[in-house]
Structure 1
């Protein structure tokens, strides 16, 4: 079991560094190429500079994964909102999809979970960029007595959460989200339907704990959303 858990952890880290990073680079290079084709050289050069910085970050993170030097306490809660804003700016610059953010409540995330939460948000935005065909997106964090609730939502094409075997767009990334939720002892809600966009919500304990994850999709998650509309975008 220990070996399996370690393999899953390494798979998550490789997905979040190499796979996500390369997807981000491709989106940025595509965006820069589109600007150059329109003779918008200053805008294209700005995106190229951002892509170079992303590549440098990827190299450092990949080295950490390979040498197993990554520490789960490397991020401070007070820095998390700014880091998320930077990720959102890269997402918007590369995709042209507007993203509204309300993430000040992330400062209540336990330091142990900060990196996991940042990865969850990054994966959510990656799924929006790759699969949603969205016109708008949102990232929101709200705090409750026992939880910090984080939501990444879009108004895109959505998908059928009941698809057999979980073989829907971005399913591997969602597997990683489930595993990260489990590590934090949290709860993951995936709410989507064809033509109705997608909402990925994760409930992060405000106190460090290790409990079994509760994963809900479809009607169960929708009922939860309907009973907590005061903390949603509806």
Structure 2
């Protein structure tokens, strides 16, 4: 055996294969932290050795040297197929199966074939003989056909893994299709070349088996950025995100969907893609599809009924190309079921606390008003009884007249308290509507003129129900004080909106009082304490302005949006 070599035009196909495998090997090794990249780089290394052996076989001038290099490049064929199979399995998202144990099992057939080739002179299971025609032609033994069958078995595993990926991820279908075409065409050419005694020259054989496949792999890697870690990270985020994601075209049809969305709709992606989004959503979802435009009129939907109901917030985003042209829409569904239930539980707890606080206030008011009145009536009734027994009607009649007046006042107080409580019990409660209704009742019941002044732009629902009920109770307390203590004949309620607050003033034409008395009599004016407590709960404040003979004004600062 001599080591003489000569140039031949047949070298070019093999050298192209060498260059392409070197380039792809370096490219993938630089991205070896990406799943599948390391296996692909190792596969490119084995394919490069295969192509180098083929090049040297073509260039060798001696028959025995050609046989040597033919055996050399044959050594790397099964290792190449095995490494690329690991790449396809990892790329398809099945890398969890490539455990150390399974990798050892995969390497056993490659090592076995490698050993049989090295020791072929002793058993001739791989090659039975060699002939020199235009190039070396080998007669294959049973071992070669078994190894070819094993390689095609690995090809079926690759086919299954890639088809599974294509079904589960529509964005991977084009790169999968290209890589499958490269793999199937390369294997088909290899089998045909083996069956028909090398219909291709060695250079042509390595080009169609390695060069063609590598070219298609390169197109998939670069054009679709298969091994791009940024793109892969984005893909993983989309595939693993808990929010449902649907890509819609300009006509409102679903063109892509992530696994979370398939779970939300409880349907496979294949049955959802191509369907109109309005067909898949509830009739009241608020998604309006118009020619060339999609809009949301609601931002929350519910799917299911009763305890099985699930709530989702909706988000709609334009998808634009680099020139700013609209391509479609991205619809996100965020599960808010647990958040909603937690909020409802919190509201229930707040209602319980508010109910207990209201009971405490009512108990205090009953003690301070009705309780004291009944105590007074009891004492005066006993005095009137004593005078009546003594026959002194002159002193009995005035006491009874006063008792009648006190009873009427107590009755009026009870009626007002009942109406005040009922003012917040309507199912469709609106603050301004309830206030108007209460002022009408106040005027009718106590013959006190009322006036309500509102800005034209003030919304009927300026205050949410929780805040509105608290403010309503404070206004009722102010009006009660104007009637009972101020002797008012007219009250005026004025609203002004400024800087995120509603300023409410309640003024009367009553007798007024000296504000210094409030400081001296701390603890006796439970109504004023109650008003301040209510306003503090909602983040507001209350100011009381009064002078003897000039009436009283109560000013409330109420934050909007609390």
Q: TM-score range by the shorter chain?
A: 0.5 to 0.7
1:221 aligned partner: none
2:536 aligned partner: 182
The answer to whether the 8 A contact 1:102-1:139 is kept is yes
Matches within 5 A, 1:35-50: none
Residue 21 (structure 1) shift: 10
Rounded to whole Å, the distance in 1 between the matches of 2:428 and 2:362 is 16
Matches within 5 A, 1:208-219: 208=562
Aligned CA-pair RMSD: 4.0
| 2:502 paired with 1:148 | yes
Determine which structure has more spread, i.e. the larger CA radius of gyration. 2
The answer to whether the 8 A contact 1:81-1:103 is kept is no
The answer to whether the 8 A contact 1:108-1:143 is kept is no
The answer to whether the 8 A contact 2:503-2:556 is kept is yes
Rounded to whole Å, the distance in 2 between the matches of 1:8 and 1:124 is 19
1:194 aligned partner: 548
| 2:442 paired with 1:91 | yes
2:468 aligned partner: 114
CA deviation digits over 1:147-182, x for unaligned, max 9?
Answer: 0111111011111112154638x8211110000111
Residue 107 (structure 1) shift: 2.9
Rounded to whole Å, the distance in 1 between the matches of 2:540 and 2:448 is 29
The answer to whether the 8 A contact 2:370-2:410 is kept is no
Residue 102 (structure 1) shift: 2.1
Matches within 5 A, 1:73-84: 76=429, 79-84=430-435
CA distance 1:21–1:98, shift in 2 (3 Å) = farther
2:491 aligned partner: 137
1:100 aligned partner: 451
Rounded to whole Å, the distance in 2 between the matches of 1:131 and 1:203 is 24
Residue 189 (structure 1) shift: 0.9
Q: Per the alignment, in what secondary structure is the counterpart of residue 503 of structure 2?
A: strand
The answer to whether the 8 A contact 1:140-1:151 is kept is yes
| 2:361 paired with 1:12 | yes
2:477 aligned partner: 123
The answer to whether the 8 A contact 2:535-2:542 is kept is yes
1:161 aligned partner: 515
Q: Per the alignment, in what secondary structure is the counterpart of residue 100 of structure 1?
A: strand
Residue 27 (structure 1) shift: 5.2
Rounded to whole Å, the distance in 2 between the matches of 1:14 and 1:142 is 34
CA deviation digits over 1:181-212, x for unaligned, max 9?
Answer: 1101112110001111100111010132xxxx
CA deviation digits over 1:93-127, x for unaligned, max 9?
Answer: 12211111125746312333011011011111111
Rounded to whole Å, the distance in 2 between the matches of 1:91 and 1:56 is 10
The answer to whether the 8 A contact 1:16-1:123 is kept is no
Q: Per the alignment, in what secondary structure is the counterpart of residue 163 of structure 1?
A: helix
The answer to whether the 8 A contact 2:496-2:502 is kept is yes
Q: Which has the higher contact order (CA 8 A, sep 6+)?
A: 1
The answer to whether the 8 A contact 2:431-2:465 is kept is no
CA distance 1:16–1:122, shift in 2 (3 Å) = farther
TM-score between both structures, scaled by the size of structure 2: 0.26
CA distance 1:147–1:128, shift in 2 (3 Å) = same
Rounded to whole Å, the distance in 2 between the matches of 1:9 and 1:112 is 13
Rounded to whole Å, the distance in 2 between the matches of 1:141 and 1:19 is 31
CA distance 1:162–1:86, shift in 2 (3 Å) = same
Rounded to whole Å, the distance in 2 between the matches of 1:125 and 1:21 is 18
